[in-house]
Structure 1
Amino acid sequence: MGLTRQLKKKGDLLAILAFVILTAIIFRNYFFKGQVPFPANLLVSFYSPWRHYQWEGYPNGPATKPIGFDNLRSFFPYRKFTLDQLKLGQWPLWNPYNFSGNIHLATYQAAVFYPLNLLYFVLPLIDAWSWLVILQPILAGFFMFLFLRKINLSSRAAFFGALTLAFSGWMLAWSEESLVIEHTALWLPLILYALEKLMAKVSPGRVALLVGATVAMILAGFLQLTIYVLLTVFAWIIFRVRQGKLNDLKSKLALGLSFLVSLLITSAHLWPAIEAYFNSSRRLVDVKFLFDQYLMPPWHLITFLAPDFWGNPGVFNYFQGGFYHEKVIYLGIPALLLALFALLSKRRSQELNFLKWFSLITLALGFVPLGWLLYFSHLPLVSTMMPARIFFLATFGFCALAAFGWDFYSQQNFAEQRWKSLFFASGSIFLLLWLFVFYHKFFLVPDSFATVSLRNLVLPTGFFISTASVIWLFRRQKSFAFLALTALAVLSSIYFANKFLYFSERRFIFPEVAVLTKLKAMAGVNRVWGYAGGCLERNLNAYYGLYSPDGYEALFPQRYGELLHVQETKGQLTGQPSRSDAAIKQAVEADGVLDSWYRQRLLSLLGVKYLAEAKFGEGKNEATEAERFPQEFFQLVWQDEKFRIWEYQQALPRAFLVDEYLVETQKQKIIDHLFDQEFSLAKKIILEEEPGLKIEPQATKKTVEITKYLPNQVELQTESLQPALLFLTDNDYPGWQAQIDGQRAAILRADFTFRAVAVPAGKHQIVFSYRPKAFFWGLRVSFLSLILFIGWLIFVKIKRP
């Protein structure tokens, strides 16, 4: 027994070592060239204002790949904001830099409590980020290895299945596209492993493992994958119950309490996100357009064999449409053939049968027509999410099947007829693909199929011939066959990674440029915006502490999204605002900034005081400077050789006092008033209830000073001879509280989505504080649950001899 344990431990260590070595090869640029797995090159080559400046050694900008947009726009700025706030001793609850103020922790994707984020406290920001990227395949591979060994697969089979998952097309493509997605997904095999351990024997350590893995998965920060993982886990539990492996009350209680404790411990993460979901437009927006684009047609199955048949964005020749990483199902030819071999196997194995059905169903749900069931089910959350992301579950299932396939290949008599059928079917598909691309090359006007697809068939065909040859020729030399198939799998993964993954020079990580430096110095708490070619991409401003009316995020205030969306609908509320974006509508260089009345009103209402304009760009000669920035509205306040900064003189202050208001509860009528040319945004605001204080128009002087502006707290000093309304152009949201001279005051929603407070005459201090009940009650529950759980573990440990 001791020897068996030692061998297993040695096998585990060798598996980890193999994953570490292969990961080091794939991410060698980080270790040996000092480059980072972050799209910084993309930032300075593609986005304004950086792309307008020259970079030493790169007159046309550094080489880049159009990959990693969400990491650049969302997750890296999120990490910086989170870290900055925590280091100041503040909870990162509210982000004032995007969307005219938005939730942060409650976005779920901020992943504030994710345990592995502790790396940010011991390493520089970019190195902690890099290690979180690098750890993904190592953790995913090792966790998968443990699970496959636990369901009685051989060490070789478990290693092969784990290897193909860790370095599958899905894992590699998502590893640098969205940090939180893969960190959520990689915990699935560990949760299943913990389940298997717990069902075999209930013990505190096994309960702790299950709770720890589940908590980490939830806190990793991607809700869709959290749902998919939990559904998979519950399906596995039902499968085991039907097998009779979970019949005793002790096991059932341990299992149920483990998941309950996991949910309680993550309350501080989950409860604010639930509140945020119901205050966002996510639950309202029709996502049929996503299903139209990302439910795959049957011919997409070709990419199982040739992942880049429609090109690859990593080399700028992708022509299928949509995002490449959303559609990846590639496992590698060796894994695919072994998985298909297991699918065709008639061997009686309940685990195998579960994985067969699981893999086929989850794969089919990413394709038409079965995938439309998700949309038409109208299930909360599931029916409103990107459908192709279910391919993670299919990838997981097929990699597990590949492990079964290896054991069947190595342990049974060689199934000659079955292999012949597989080789014939796969070879026929390759032959048809070659005929297809040759037809396009020689009989039609040459197109992408005749060039890109033709080139991208060569290596997959070579991998197929090599894999088939190894399986057939070395069927009696299984050790050599294992090494050869593993080598082929590794080579295909390295090739895929080299083609797709990006690395950047450290100097391009959000570098300072003159226009940003000047905006930071001038703007203060005023909002900024980029015009046409000088457009500041949503969220990037937050890294520099610049306030913007624009934003990009899954969860943001529904009211704010509706307000900005009326630019697209000529003032009409449709109930279908943008799903992930809210922004002042962009202009082209030939447009005047104020050509759109809706843009003009929003620039004023949202307090956008400074606009950045690139001096050079396509279409600049189609309008004069005076036409773009009329002198009666704009004043040039700064310029260099690349940019101008204009001050918009009709921008409202971030906070001011008014003594005129009207009460209106119908949303459309509020919008009508706000965009009515006769309605003065500077003199009157629209409330949805009476202020509770008699306020009358007056001609007396009124002053407001913002004395402190922090993410979770805003302090102001006001002075007026008569009662007035203090208007702050920050989004109103559940959890914001107001005090006047230390006494609670009601916050009134004003001008559709902002905050106002009725202020008595005289001098007063007004404090807005963000204290969301969902978070603070959730935090209490999380803390108490964690303490009780740890206390129980210690008590049981001490009590046992």
Structure 2
Amino acid sequence: MRLEMQQEQAHSVRKILKEKELYLLVLAGVLFFYRPLFLGETFFFRDLLYDFIPQKQMLLDFASRGEWPLWDIYRHGGQPYFADPNNSVFHPANLLFFVLPFFRAFNLILVGHALLYLIAAYLLTRVLGFSPKASLISAAMYGFCGCTLSLINLYGRFLAMSYLPLLLLGWHLFLLERKRRWFVFSVIFGVLQVLCGAPEVNVICMLTLLGWSLCFPYQQPLLRKLALWLLLNIFVIGIASIQLFPTIEMALHSSRGSGMEYWEFASSSLRLKRLPEIIVPNFFGYVDQLPFETFYWGYILRDGYDYPYILNIYFGAVALLFGLFGGLDSRRDTLLTRPLRRMLLGIFVTALLLSLGRFLPGFTLVYRIPMITLFRYPIKFLLAGLLPLSLLTGYAAEQIFSDSQRNTPLRLALYVCSTFAIALAAVFALIPAFADLAMQFFFEHAPDEFMTESLRQALTHVAAVLLLTTLCVWMMPSRTRLAQWGLAGIILFDLLFAGMNINPSTPEKMLTEIPPAVQVVRQQIGGGRLFRMDSPQDIQLYASSSDIIWSFRWGLETLDRYFGAFYRLPVIFHDDYVGLAQRHIVNLKGMAKTLPWSQKLPILNMSGVTAIITPERLQIDGLEHVSELPNRSNALFHLYHLNASRIHFVTSWETAQTDEDTISRVAFSSFNPTRQVVLHPYQPPMLFERLSRWQADLPTFPASRQQECVAAEITRKTETSHAAEFQVTSSCEGFLVFSEPFYPGWRVYANGERLPIYRANLAFSAVYLPQGTFHIERRYLPLSLFFGAIVSVGFLGIGGVFLSRRSIGASRQKNN
């Protein structure tokens, strides 16, 4: 009977799209994001400004120069652009950047996917048989909970999670109706999810589909469902290979590819003291105001980062209570079967436990699971519980709407919880000693007036929401329609109120005005790179207001971290937040940050650094003090010029067998990268290069040589982001050394003949040249992209044949 109802519901999608509850959800979303939509403001917070805004702007730069988005010259000394999954190069949403002003497109992509959360979850629950108001509650929970809103500043993960309800919807209808179009529907959204660049979300979603397939009473036998699920994964991976192959290659050369230590993997775990934030809005404070220590009073528990990886984990007391009762409901013949609800509850509880990470006893065993470090931070496991909890919340609301008399345990639980919440709010407000003790326990520092008042309001909010929910449930039998709208409105308001401060926005001009320091650095950097030392710890900002934008604006003005790349200044030796920088560059970065300047300069010189920003006033031979950099703080920064080049011809070399041996040679003041180089033995090409059947004919030269020779003449002819041409003339044999990271995909030709590339000075590259004059071509042509494209096209062709055979078969059947 239930399957028949859902099959009937599946055919009324057009009717669902006209329901007023859906329009109310969309309207709530538009009003919630009114500032970036209508007031000329933009999202910017944290990772958006560090990573996603400049990288999307770079995509437009490639297009304006008529170049393929192959190589990013601005970060980590150079790294693949399209291969970085965070850049999501192949996602179709990027087309908006080519037809709209940049920030208009950027905000529309984010808000559009925020609305997609609501629409997709609403469609899924309505097809499952939920009533419109129960679907409204479930969709609001999925789209507006604190965890979902926190993903906005993580961009790719936010986009990827919006496709989960649609992926599950297509999969459910495919197994229900056994029509190929729904399989294609599932593949499309599975591929879109992969192209967002959030691999941990892909794993979460596919495992959710597997659990759903096994627990929902479809007519297919178990083995057939498993086979179909496996086929779905094969098609998704196959079509998305154009992104996956290059990403895998990039990861193998990254610090993440060399393994992740337990301490790093478990660093961003959900602390036990943070759990009250699930039901108390803004329990740890607010992220949109300065000073940081005043407005975000949970700063001591933030694992050393500016803010937690997931800023807010608020679900709300009502949603959590409904979800738990929805999962524990013992009735059999209901909207969702009991095994399915147990599975959903199990996913949520497991996700919550795993998100505790190192605070969960025995979590070291989880670390030993193969590929588990794909999640990188344990708190990401929490994402797996979002859709299950929202479905269970909507299910419980549906049970109350349909038969409130049978939900006496839930009604009693609401009564008890609301009474307790009222009592707690009263005690916190009326007994200062209790409030102080509680705040010192959770936040480990003395409270101030603002913290106390904010938490008092938050506890009052929880008590009011629970009380109003209890009243709505108790009045359900007599005034059902009013109570239903009341309950939906309470949950929607609760989530929107709690999420108001998670994603601050700012006028676009705050990000488009170019600071004076940028102009100064551009004059000095030439064709080199920027290196910036870390800022002092005791920075005091001179901000115009308490808005958090001034902290980021100060970072832009001083080119902090890797903000130089924001202004198209090539940067090297900055923090590797995503773990995808070339691992040898990361090793050199640690040396460049910690060694004395006498040992630091050779490393910077061989890395092509020409501009240095540091808070230190230095008097060192080889460094020219250019100017002080004005900024809105009490700190003083100095700009220095270093006479370096990104290409050298050296006639003295030696070979090192290990990385440690190389480090011991280059990290000395006597090492001169303009005259000598430390080489590593030639490394055979990786998988994709081997598939091309190209093998290097290794030149014969001594393992080491110390000689003096007249400096070679190097003339740069043409250069793009992924290719360059030089004219090199030398009277001696030697090595042409490039300060570009050693990566597969780079090719060097001398007078049209391809040369083998050696790893040089730990992280960079070099080619051997005999004496003479050579026309050198250097370009980046990654075969991983080529083979990935072939596999993607192949799977698209298979899918086309799959559909065409169905169409031909249907046509023949109709003619017969």
TM exceeding 0.5: yes
Match of 1:44 in 2: none
In structure 1, C-alpha distance between the alignment counterparts of 2:427 and 2:600, rounded to whole Å: 53
- Contact kept in structure 2, 1:362 and 1:393, CA below 8 Å: yes
Between 343-352 and 770-779, the greater mean CA deviation after superposition: 343-352
Amino acid paired to 1:379: P
Pairing 1:219–2:195 present:
yes
Residues 429 and 325 of structure 1: is their aligned pair in 2 closer, same or farther, counting only changes over 3 Å?
Answer: farther
- Contact kept in structure 2, 1:19 and 1:137, CA below 8 Å: no
Q: CA deviation at 1:478?
A: 2.2
Between 517-526 and 400-409, the greater mean CA deviation after superposition: 517-526
Residues 86 and 766 of structure 1: is their aligned pair in 2 closer, same or farther, counting only changes over 3 Å?
Answer: same
Amino acid paired to 2:189: A
Match of 1:366 in 2: 355
Pairing 1:648–2:637 present:
no
In structure 1, C-alpha distance between the alignment counterparts of 2:426 and 2:482, rounded to whole Å: 31
Amino acid paired to 1:358: I
The percentage of counterpart residues that share the same residue type is 20
Q: CA deviation at 1:485?
A: 1.5
Q: CA deviation at 1:442?
A: 6.9
From 509, 523, 545, give the equivalent of 2:568: 545
Amino acid paired to 1:485: L
Q: CA deviation at 1:522?
A: 4.1
From 332, 349, 352, give the equivalent of 2:316: 332
In structure 1, C-alpha distance between the alignment counterparts of 2:613 and 2:313, rounded to whole Å: 42
In structure 1, C-alpha distance between the alignment counterparts of 2:268 and 2:151, rounded to whole Å: 19
Residues 153 and 330 of structure 1: is their aligned pair in 2 closer, same or farther, counting only changes over 3 Å?
Answer: same
Match of 2:814 in 1: none
Within-5 A mapping of 1:21-40: 21-36=27-42, 38-39=43-44
Q: CA deviation at 1:319?
A: 2.3
In structure 2, C-alpha distance between the alignment counterparts of 1:442 and 1:399, rounded to whole Å: 32
Please state whether the residue corresponding to 2:754 is helix, strand or coil.
strand
Match of 1:572 in 2: none
Amino acid paired to 2:14: K
Residues 389 and 476 of structure 1: is their aligned pair in 2 closer, same or farther, counting only changes over 3 Å?
Answer: farther
Please state whether the residue corresponding to 2:657 is helix, strand or coil.
coil
- Contact kept in structure 1, 2:603 and 2:666, CA below 8 Å: no
Please state whether the residue corresponding to 1:99 is helix, strand or coil.
coil
Please state whether the residue corresponding to 2:778 is helix, strand or coil.
strand
In structure 1, C-alpha distance between the alignment counterparts of 2:419 and 2:278, rounded to whole Å: 13
- Contact kept in structure 1, 2:141 and 2:390, CA below 8 Å: yes
Match of 1:602 in 2: 603
Between 338-347 and 73-82, the greater mean CA deviation after superposition: 338-347
Match of 2:100 in 1: 123
In structure 2, C-alpha distance between the alignment counterparts of 1:640 and 1:752, rounded to whole Å: 33
- Contact kept in structure 1, 2:214 and 2:222, CA below 8 Å: no
Amino acid paired to 1:295: L
Pairing 1:563–2:588 present:
yes
Count of matched residue positions in the alignment of Structure 1 and Structure 2: 731
Between 286-295 and 602-611, the greater mean CA deviation after superposition: 286-295
Residues 389 and 290 of structure 1: is their aligned pair in 2 closer, same or farther, counting only changes over 3 Å?
Answer: same
- Flag structure 2 segments of 5+ consecutive residues without an equivalent: 441-445, 536-556, 683-697, 812-816
Match of 1:105 in 2: 82
Match of 2:685 in 1: none
- Flag structure 1 segments of 5+ consecutive residues without an equivalent: 40-67, 568-583, 587-593, 614-619
Match of 2:284 in 1: 310
Please state whether the residue corresponding to 2:506 is helix, strand or coil.
coil
Residues 505 and 123 of structure 1: is their aligned pair in 2 closer, same or farther, counting only changes over 3 Å?
Answer: same
Q: CA deviation at 1:6?
A: 8.4
- Contact kept in structure 1, 2:530 and 2:609, CA below 8 Å: yes
- Contact kept in structure 2, 1:687 and 1:748, CA below 8 Å: yes
In structure 2, C-alpha distance between the alignment counterparts of 1:168 and 1:523, rounded to whole Å: 45
Between 659-668 and 269-278, the greater mean CA deviation after superposition: 269-278
Residues 644 and 764 of structure 1: is their aligned pair in 2 closer, same or farther, counting only changes over 3 Å?
Answer: farther
From 285, 288, 299, give the equivalent of 2:263: 288
Please state whether the residue corresponding to 1:677 is helix, strand or coil.
coil
- Contact kept in structure 2, 1:169 and 1:328, CA below 8 Å: yes
Match of 2:145 in 1: 168
Within-5 A mapping of 1:617-656: 628-630=617-619, 632-637=621-626, 646-649=639-642, 651-656=643-648
Q: CA deviation at 1:293?
A: 4.7
Match of 1:409 in 2: 400
In structure 2, C-alpha distance between the alignment counterparts of 1:475 and 1:314, rounded to whole Å: 43
CA distances 1:580-613 after superposition (whole Å, capped 9, x unpaired): xxxx428xxxxxxx95444333222222112346
CA distances 1:521-566 after superposition (whole Å, capped 9, x unpaired): 442321123456675233322232211113433311111112222x
Pairing 1:138–2:115 present:
yes
Pairing 1:447–2:447 present:
yes
Pairing 1:9–2:14 present:
yes
Q: CA deviation at 1:362?
A: 1.7
Between 349-358 and 477-486, the greater mean CA deviation after superposition: 349-358
Between 752-761 and 780-789, the greater mean CA deviation after superposition: 780-789
Q: CA deviation at 1:141?
A: 1.4
Q: CA deviation at 1:130?
A: 0.3
CA distances 1:716-757 after superposition (whole Å, capped 9, x unpaired): 221111222101111011111111111100111111111101
In structure 2, C-alpha distance between the alignment counterparts of 1:776 and 1:430, rounded to whole Å: 63
Please state whether the residue corresponding to 2:505 is helix, strand or coil.
coil
Report the aligned-residue RMSD.
3.0
In structure 2, C-alpha distance between the alignment counterparts of 1:143 and 1:424, rounded to whole Å: 34
Amino acid paired to 1:341: F
From 531, 536, 539, give the equivalent of 2:559: 536
In structure 2, C-alpha distance between the alignment counterparts of 1:679 and 1:634, rounded to whole Å: 16
Amino acid paired to 2:403: Q
Please state whether the residue corresponding to 1:767 is helix, strand or coil.
strand
From 199, 203, 221, give the equivalent of 2:179: 203
Match of 1:710 in 2: 720
Pairing 1:235–2:211 present:
yes
Q: CA deviation at 1:661?
A: 0.3
Match of 1:682 in 2: 674
- Contact kept in structure 2, 1:364 and 1:370, CA below 8 Å: no
Amino acid paired to 2:297: F
Amino acid paired to 1:692: P
From 487, 503, 506, give the equivalent of 2:505: 503
- Contact kept in structure 2, 1:352 and 1:404, CA below 8 Å: no
Amino acid paired to 1:564: K
From 466, 474, 477, give the equivalent of 2:476: 474
From 297, 300, 303, give the equivalent of 1:319: 297
Pairing 1:259–2:233 present:
yes
Q: CA deviation at 1:460?
A: 2.1
In structure 1, C-alpha distance between the alignment counterparts of 2:436 and 2:247, rounded to whole Å: 56
- Contact kept in structure 2, 1:694 and 1:723, CA below 8 Å: no
Pairing 1:182–2:164 present:
no
Q: CA deviation at 1:345?
A: 1.9
Q: CA deviation at 1:779?
A: 1.1
Please state whether the residue corresponding to 1:261 is helix, strand or coil.
helix
Give TM-score, length-normalised by structure 2.
0.83
Please state whether the residue corresponding to 1:800 is helix, strand or coil.
helix
Amino acid paired to 1:559: H
- Contact kept in structure 1, 2:133 and 2:488, CA below 8 Å: no
- Contact kept in structure 1, 2:534 and 2:561, CA below 8 Å: no
